[in-house]
Amino acid sequence: MYVLELAGQDDRFAAREAASAATDVSLLAPGLATARGITDRVRTLAFTRRASELLATCEPTVDSASATLDAANVDRAGSVAVRAVDVRSTTGIDTERAERELGQRLVDRGFTVDLDDPDHELRALFSAGHQQATDASEVADDADGVCALGWLAATSRRDYGERAPMDRPFTQPGSMDPMEARAIVNIAGARPGRRVVDPMCGTGGVLIEAGLAGADVVGTDAQEKMVRGARENLDTFLDDFAVARADATALPLRDDAADAVVFDAPYGRQSKIEGELDAVVSGALAEARRIAPRAVVVADRSWEAAAEEAGWTVEDRFERRVHRSLVRHVHVLE
């Protein structure tokens, strides 16, 4: 069993992304989830910062954590560092005291302390509770809080600032943040051996993240300006990709050509593409259904009815607040 340290404030969304790289993901407490198993893809997750091999859980106090560690079966040896975290600053725990007392317990068991390059890192994660779930889609307000003790197993790569939209060669207002784009392509299943198509690729941000996650990426856009710009951006980050001008409602791709389709639909107030927005998005949903068994569609409104009419089942939907006037609706379609 593993404990996952979640980023952001939407734990249900983070857990859904984590399920692309871990098995049996369940929310444990605010900012924390558990998983029965993890894969190397944990390192590509946007909204999971770390995964640790779960040693034990207890009440979120230093005394309880110390007693629990004393009683735990610690089958390791060597040097150690203890890192205590007050998750989202919800418990008021004295993290220095926690590190000191837990570290002493391990020294008493024969460990040596090495804060710079330890053989093992014990993470003590204190969360005040108010969320507990049996799976990634259910949350109940009946938890009093938890401390999860675990041995660090994997850390995700936090390099999204290097790909900020305004720092790319080609930029346009409203481009999706790379951290959000990475989460969305992970939910879609981007990984080595998979092909991801973005039929409304814009500046190419979604394709960049899918490609960096290991997927084979193909993009189209109705505007030649966007095609040229996306190629310039993709060429900066990826070695292999395909981008062409095409109509998202009539893609030049054979049936079942992709493993997943991901696109950020035009927003009503920003759309300058030909035709009515409803017809364009509905047509793109139908084409996505023709070429792939899975899709993740982002929009400024719900497109559930259009997705179902196109033959999709809406497996999940999330509302992601960008700012006061914009909420992104993330549709997970099967």
- The tens digit of pLDDT for each residue in 99-130 reads 999 999 999 999 999 999 999 999 999 999 75
Q: Is the pLDDT of residue 139 over 50?
A: no
According to CATH, what is the number of the domain 2-155? 3.30.2130.30
The angle subtended at Cα 103 by Cα 143 and Cα 66, nearest 5°, is 35
Return the H-helix or E-strand segment holding 237. helix 224-237
Show Cβ contacts of residue 115 under 8 Å, excluding neighbours closer than 6 positions: 81
Backbone angles phi, psi at 228, to 5 degrees: -65, -45
Mean pLDDT, to the nearest integer, of 180-193? 98
Report the b/e string of 49-80 with b at 16+ CB within 10 A: bbbbbbbebbebebeebbebbeeeebeeeebb
pLDDT tens sequence across 241-266: 999 999 999 999 999 999 999 999 98
pLDDT tens sequence across 153-167: 999 999 999 999 999
Residue 28, burial from CB neighbour count under 10 angstroms (0-12, 13-18, 19+): buried
What are the DSSP calls for 1-33, one per residue?
-EEEEE-SS-HHHHHHHHTTTEES-EEEETTEE
Enumerate the β-bridge partners of residue 333. 295, 314
- Hunting for tokens 């799976």 — which residue is that? 135
Mean pLDDT, to the nearest integer, of 58-84? 96
pLDDT class of 143 with cuts at 50, 70, 90: low
pLDDT tens sequence across 206-231: 999 999 999 999 999 999 999 999 99
267 DSSP assignment: P
The pLDDT value given to residue 323 = 82
Q: Is the pLDDT of residue 191 over 50?
A: yes
Domain with CATH 3.30.2130.30 in the chain: 2-155
CATH architecture of 160-333: 3-Layer(aba) Sandwich (3.40)
The pLDDT value given to residue 267 = 82
* Cβ–Cβ under 8 Å, residues 264 and 233: no
Dihedral-angle region of residue 320 (phi above 0 means left; psi in -120 to 50 means alpha; beta otherwise): beta
The pLDDT value given to residue 324 = 75
Distance of alpha carbon 228 from alpha carbon 79, whole angstroms: 53
Total count of residues recorded for the chain: 334
Mean pLDDT, to the nearest integer, of 145-149? 97
* Cβ–Cβ under 8 Å, residues 146 and 60: yes
What own/partner pairs with CB < 8 Å and gap ≥ 24 does 103-107 have? 105/66, 105/69, 105/70, 106/69, 106/74, 106/80, 106/82
Mean pLDDT, to the nearest integer, of 54-69? 97
Distance of alpha carbon 292 from alpha carbon 195, whole angstroms: 9
Average pLDDT of every residue of the chain: 93
Mean pLDDT, to the nearest integer, of 139-163? 85
Q: Is the pLDDT of residue 140 over 60?
A: no
Q: Is the pLDDT of residue 45 over 70?
A: yes
Q: Is the pLDDT of residue 137 over 50?
A: no
Domain with CATH 3.40.50.150 in the chain: 160-333
Supply 152's token pair: 């660090």
Distance of alpha carbon 254 from alpha carbon 178, whole angstroms: 29
Q: Is the pLDDT of residue 271 over 60?
A: no
